Amino acid sequence: MFAQLGSTFGSLFIVWTMFQRFFPLHLQTYVDKYLKRLVKFFDPYIQIKFYEYSSDRFRRSEAYIAIENYLSSKSTEQAKRLKGDSVKQGQSIVLNMDNEEEVLDEFRGVKLFWSKMEALTRSQTISYYPTSGKMYYKLSFHSRYRESVTKSYLKYILEEGKAIGARNRQKKLYTNNSNDDRYGHSRRWSHVVFEHPASFDTLAMDPKKKKEIIDDLVTFHQSKEYYARIGKAWKRGYLLYGPPGTGKSTMIAAIANFLNYDIYDLELTAVKDNTDLRKLLIETSSKSIIVIEDIDCSLDLTGQRKTKPKKEENKVEVCPIKKKADEENESKSSKDESKNSKVTLSGLLNFIDGIWSASGGERLIIFTTNYVEKLDEALIRRGRMDKHIELSYCDFEGFKVLAKNYLNIDSHPSFETIGSLLEESNITPADVAENLMPKTTMGDSETCLDNLIQALKAAKEEAMKKKAEDEEKLKLKADKGLQEEEKLGGS
Ligand X SMILES: Nc1ncnc2c1ncn2[C@@H]1O[C@H](COP(=O)(O)OP(=O)(O)OP(=O)(O)O)[C@@H](O)[C@H]1O
* Binding footprint of Mg ion on the chain (CB under 5 A): 248-249
User: What single-letter DSSP state applies at residue 126?
Assistant: P
> Which one of residues 203, 389, 407, 436 is an interface residue with ligand X (CB under 6 A)?
203
Q: How many CB atoms lie within 10 A of CB 129?
A: 12
Closest residue to ligand X, Cβ-based? 247
| Binding status of residue 257 toward ligand X by CB under 6 A | no
Q: Quick check: 174 and 263 in contact, CB under 8 A? A: yes
Residue placing its CB nearer to ligand X in the complex, 1 or 192 = 192
> 400 to 429, contacts with ligand X by CB under 6 A?
429
CB of 244 to ligand X, least distance (A): 3
| Binding status of residue 266 toward ligand X by CB under 6 A | no
CA gap 399, 431 in Å, rounded: 11
Q: Which does 233 bind (CB under 5 to 8 A by kind): ligand X, Mg ion, none?
A: none
| Binding status of residue 72 toward ligand X by CB under 6 A | no
> Which one of residues 430, 436, 448, 456 is an interface residue with ligand X (CB under 6 A)?
430
CB of 247 to ligand X, least distance (A): 3
Residues near 317 by beta carbon (within 8 Å), at least 6 away in sequence: 426, 427, 428, 431, 459, 462
Q: Which does 213 bind (CB under 5 to 8 A by kind): ligand X, Mg ion, none?
A: none
Q: What angle do CA 39, 42, 43 make, to 5 degrees?
A: 70
CA gap 374, 144 in Å, rounded: 66
Q: Quick check: 428 and 436 in contact, CB under 8 A? A: no
Q: Quick check: 102 and 176 in contact, CB under 8 A? A: no
Q: What proportions of the chain, in percent to the nearest 5, are helix, strand and coil?
A: 50, 15, 30
> Which one of residues 6, 161, 237, 244 is an interface residue with ligand X (CB under 6 A)?
244
Residue placing its CB nearer to ligand X in the complex, 202 or 350 = 202
> Which one of residues 259, 433, 448, 456 is an interface residue with ligand X (CB under 6 A)?
433
> Could you tell me how many residues of this chain bind ligand X (CB under 6 A)?
15
> Which one of residues 54, 73, 177, 249 is an interface residue with ligand X (CB under 6 A)?
249
> Which one of residues 6, 161, 245, 347 is an interface residue with ligand X (CB under 6 A)?
245
Q: Which stretch binds ligand X (CB under 6 A): 136-144, 201-209, 331-339, 438-446?
A: 201-209
The edge-to-edge listing of strands for the beta sheet with 134-142 is 45-51, 134-142, 110-119, 102-107
**Which of helix, strand or coil describes residue 379?**
helix
CB of 111 to ligand X, least distance (A): 52
**What's phi and psi for 259, nearest 5 deg?**
-90, -10
Q: Which stretch binds ligand X (CB under 6 A): 32-40, 44-52, 88-96, 244-252?
A: 244-252
| Binding status of residue 204 toward ligand X by CB under 6 A | yes
Q: Quick check: 189 and 176 in contact, CB under 8 A? A: yes
Q: Which does 292 bind (CB under 5 to 8 A by kind): Mg ion, ligand X, none?
A: none
CB of 292 to ligand X, least distance (A): 12
Q: Which stretch binds ligand X (CB under 6 A): 136-144, 200-208, 255-263, 331-339?
A: 200-208
Q: Which helix (H) or strand (E) holds 378?
A: helix 377-380
Residue placing its CB nearer to ligand X in the complex, 270 or 325 = 325
CA gap 429, 300 in Å, rounded: 29
Q: Which stretch binds ligand X (CB under 6 A): 173-181, 227-235, 242-250, 344-352?
A: 242-250
* CA 31 vs CA 19, 46, 49, 257: distances in Å: 12, 22, 23, 58
Chain CA centroid to CA 145, Å: 39
CB of 204 to ligand X, least distance (A): 4
CA gap 255, 215 in Å, rounded: 12
> Which one of residues 205, 364, 379, 436 is an interface residue with ligand X (CB under 6 A)?
205
Q: Which residues pair with 119 in a beta bridge?
A: 134
Q: How many CB atoms lie within 10 A of CB 85?
A: 12
Residue placing its CB nearer to Mg ion in the complex, 7 or 249 = 249
Residue placing its CB nearer to ligand X in the complex, 233 or 430 = 430
CA gap 131, 83 in Å, rounded: 15
Q: Which does 204 bind (CB under 5 to 8 A by kind): ligand X, Mg ion, none?
A: ligand X
> Which one of residues 72, 250, 288, 298 is an interface residue with ligand X (CB under 6 A)?
250
Residue placing its CB nearer to ligand X in the complex, 172 or 311 = 311
Q: Quick check: 241 and 372 in contact, CB under 8 A? A: yes
**Which of helix, strand or coil describes residue 179?**
coil
Residue placing its CB nearer to Mg ion in the complex, 249 or 285 = 249
The amino acid present at 14, given as its one-letter code, is I
Q: How far apart are the first and last CA of the chain?
A: 120
| Binding status of residue 247 toward ligand X by CB under 6 A | yes
CB of 256 to ligand X, least distance (A): 13
Residue placing its CB nearer to ligand X in the complex, 197 or 231 = 197
R_g (Cα) of the chain, nearest Å: 32
Residue placing its CB nearer to Mg ion in the complex, 174 or 356 = 174
CA gap 353, 359 in Å, rounded: 11
- Which positions touch ligand X (CB under 6 A)? 203-205, 244-250, 370, 391, 429-430, 433
